[in-house]
Structure 1
Amino acid sequence: MRHRKIKGAREMLLAHEDYAVAEDEAIGKDWDEFFGAQRPLHVELGTGRGKFITGMASNCPDVNFIGIELKEEVLLRAVKRARDKQLHNVAFIAGNGARLMEYFKAGSLERIYINFCDPWPKNRHSKRRLVHRGFLEMYKEILTQKGEIHFKTDNEKLFEFALNEFSDSGFRLRNISLDLHSSGFEGNVTTEYEERFAALGMKIYRCEAYL
């Protein structure tokens, strides 16, 4: 999906200091202090326009949510959603998910969401996939002892790859769905991509990996 460049997007984004955190300011940040409350911490990688994470924050007021997104003009939309909903348990990092260990302390995340990430279909690019074992080992460092990863994709081959990587990296699996929207699974919060793919009749694959 192409996104229109917005002049001054970074400045506009960071003006919302109650929601947006610059990448360098996120390093070593005390998130309990930022939110003003000690709650379980859930993170979404590649949060986009924030439909999913603001929906989760609305549904789960006793959890703190952080969305990470590189594209600042996209993140502006997410901040606007959170502000319009008057949410106080969600924030956004304008940064790179590959730097998670700099943003969060070891054992501090209860859950990580990976929704419709780039499948990097060529084998030589497999290490770039967010569900590659290299990333999974990093996630294990910052997840709690019973931490979880919730993964959704429209790409069957990526899903098969993810299941193998999770298993080989010591994660257990549950709630595996090969057609989420026909599975009867309750409590699903959709992303914008998910709604678009489902409207085209495409299957959505989902699983939960846990330690």
Structure 2
Amino acid sequence: MRMRHKPYAKPELAACPFYIADPETQRGAWQSAFAKPQPLILELGCGKGGFAARFAAAHPDINYLAVDYLSDVLVLTKRRVEEEYEAAGKDSGNFRLTALNIQWIDADIAPEDTVERIHINFCNPWPKASHNKRRLTHPRQLMQYRAFLKPGGEIWFKTDDDELFEASLEYFAECGFSLRFCSRDLHADEPDWNLRTEYEQKFATMGVPIKALIAVKEELPEKNGTV
């Protein structure tokens, strides 16, 4: 379903202290955008921000960068973050929000930004074969993430889509990631660390098993003297 245009979105985001209007200017210096240097966690496709707001507010010892593409979506994240931090009585100095095209994320995040973890929650499965390269877990994307993900850094991935999950297992293996955790029914024996998103709760209510994995960046094998 197409998101309804919100004419107030861009002005409201422009006035937001934790919104970064020009992410390309922060490339290589994302830590300077936060109140203080801390381990950096990145969420790709934050949507309406329910997960981002709760996770970041609950972990003041990390810096959290949430990204999506449309201002009409990001303004909803902005409001959720404000509500969550106000309820918790905390300052949003460890949270930043920006709009960028994830397909070309290396234009906005550099290797020296050193991301510790990436969250990808219920992204578009792009089921048509001709659209597979748009998947956020496609090798074309994973190799971009590897450039700024620290050695041993992790990607936490959740989806309701069976085909996307099975394909992603192959993608991660192909791109030099090992699995620290893998479940095709996350809620059957739900880990204490799982924070349910709105989509996740919706699918769980419908009886749809949630698939999840934690992939760890390993060193790529050398080929002909190069990595």
Shift of 1:36: 2.0
Partner of 1:125: 131
**Retained in 2: the 8 A contact 1:177–1:183?**
no
Partner of 2:171: 165
Partner of 1:58: 57
Structure 1 residues 23 and 190: CA distance shift in structure 2, 3 A? farther
Amino acid at match of 1:6: K
Amino acid at match of 2:99: A
Q: In 2, Cα distance between the equivalents of 1:9 and 1:131? A: 29
Shift of 1:29: 6.0
Structure 1 residues 140 and 157: CA distance shift in structure 2, 3 A? same
Match of 2:109 among 79, 87, 104: 104
Which 4+ runs in 1 deviate beyond 6 A? none
Identical columns (%): 37
Q: Counterpart of 1:173 in 2: which secondary structure?
A: strand
Match of 2:98 among 73, 77, 93: 93
Q: In 2, Cα distance between the equivalents of 1:150 and 1:26? A: 27
Structure 1 residues 118 and 23: CA distance shift in structure 2, 3 A? farther
**Retained in 2: the 8 A contact 1:174–1:209?**
yes
Q: In 1, Cα distance between the equivalents of 2:216 and 2:24? A: 29
Structure 1 residues 204 and 166: CA distance shift in structure 2, 3 A? same
Shift of 1:164: 0.7
Moved more, 22-31 or 116-125: 22-31
Partner of 1:186: 192
TM-score under structure 1 normalisation? 0.93
Deviations 1:69-97, CA, capped at 9 Å, x for gaps = 11212111111121223333111112212
* 1:175 and 2:174 matched: no
Shift of 1:176: 0.4
Shift of 1:58: 2.0
Partner of 2:48: 49
Amino acid at match of 1:153: T
Q: How does 1:62-81 map onto structure 2 within 5 Å? A: 62-81=61-80
Structure 1 residues 99 and 14: CA distance shift in structure 2, 3 A? farther
Structure 1 residues 178 and 20: CA distance shift in structure 2, 3 A? same
* 1:156 and 2:162 matched: yes
Instruction: Tell me which structure has the larger Cα radius of gyration.
Output: 2
Q: Counterpart of 1:85 in 2: which secondary structure?
A: helix
The runs of 5 or more residues in structure 1 that have no matched partner are none
Partner of 1:30: 29
Shift of 1:3: 2.4
Amino acid at match of 1:53: A
**Retained in 2: the 8 A contact 1:113–1:149?**
yes
Q: In 2, Cα distance between the equivalents of 1:62 and 1:44? A: 16
The runs of 5 or more residues in structure 2 that have no matched partner are 86-91, 218-227
Q: In 2, Cα distance between the equivalents of 1:158 and 1:198? A: 18
Deviations 1:143-182, CA, capped at 9 Å, x for gaps = 0111111100000110000001101111001210111111
Q: Counterpart of 2:93 in 1: which secondary structure?
A: coil
Q: In 1, Cα distance between the equivalents of 2:96 and 2:25? A: 11
Q: In 2, Cα distance between the equivalents of 1:123 and 1:98? A: 17
Amino acid at match of 1:192: E
Instruction: Please tell me the root mean square deviation across aligned C-alpha atoms, in Å.
Output: 1.6
